[in-house]
Amino acid sequence: MTGVASVIAARKAAGSGALIGYLPAGFPDLRTSIEAAVAIAESGVDVIELGLPYSDPVMDGSVIQAATLQALNAGFRIRDGIDAVAEITSRVDVPVLVMTYWNPVVQYGVDRFADELLAAGGAGLITPDLIPDEARDWLAASERTGLDRVFLAAPSSTDERLAQAVARSRGFVYAVSTMGITGARSDVDSAAKTLVARLRAVGATSTCVGLGISTPEQVREVLQYADGAIVGSALVKALSDGGVPAVAATAARLATGCTLS
C-alpha cells in the first residue's frame, strides 16, 4: 500500500474520509505557494495536490487558470515545482501528489521527471489529460519508481474505461463529480454518487471525488459515499484573497466536514 493509499485507508478505518487539497505551485509566488501548502497540511488536509502551472489548462476553471497564468508569467518552471515538493515534504508528513498535464512531463523527460519527483519525496502524479491506454511510458516509469498514478474517471466513461482507470491507478481513482471544468459550485452533481458506485462495481477500493466541492457540508456529503473529497478552487481563491492565513483557515473549515458522526 502506497503512502496516499495508506492515508486514505487510515481515515476510512477511523470512520471518516480524506480531505485532499489542491494548490498551484508558484502562486502567487514560489515561496508563498510552499508556505500555503505547508499551512493546509497543518490545518487538516490529508493529501496535498500540488498543481504544475501549464499554458493550456483545459480542465481548470477561471480561478485556477488565473493563478497558474500568474505563476507562468512570473517565470515558473517545472524544476520549481519539484523543488517545492522537496521543501513541503521536508516540513510536513503529508503525501504530495503532483497534478500535471502530460505535455510538460514529456518535454521534461518522463523518466527524468519520475526520478526527480521521487528524490524530492513526491508521492506520484494526477494526470487529467492522460488516459490509461496511452500511458505506456508513465506506467513503466511509475512501476520502476513506485510512484502513484491517479487517473480520472468521468460520468460519461464507459464501464470498460472505468475498469481501465481502476486497474491502472495507484493511490486512488479520481472521480470527476460533474461534466465540465473545475470551480466551486453550490451543489455537487448527483452524478458523482453514481460514478463512485460504478467504479466500485469494477473493483475500485479507493475513490476520491473532485470538481465543485467548496464547503464543509459538501465535503461531508461526498464522504458519505466516497473515500476522499478533493477541493481546489475554494483554496486557491482563499489564498488569492487573503494569503496564507486565509487558506489555512479555509482548510481548517473544510476539514470539519471530514467528521461524519
Active-site residue list: 49, 60
Cα–Cα distance measured from residue 81 to residue 72, given in angstroms and rounded to the nearest whole number? 12
C-alpha cell at 60: 481548470
Helix (H, G, I), strand (E, B) or coil at 133: helix
Residue with cell 493563478: 67
Strands (E), the chain: 18-24, 47-51, 96-99, 124-126, 148-150, 152-153, 173-176, 207-210, 228-231
CA angle 215/40/225 to nearest 5° reads 45
Pairing of strands 47-51, 18-24: parallel
* β partners of residue 97: 49, 124
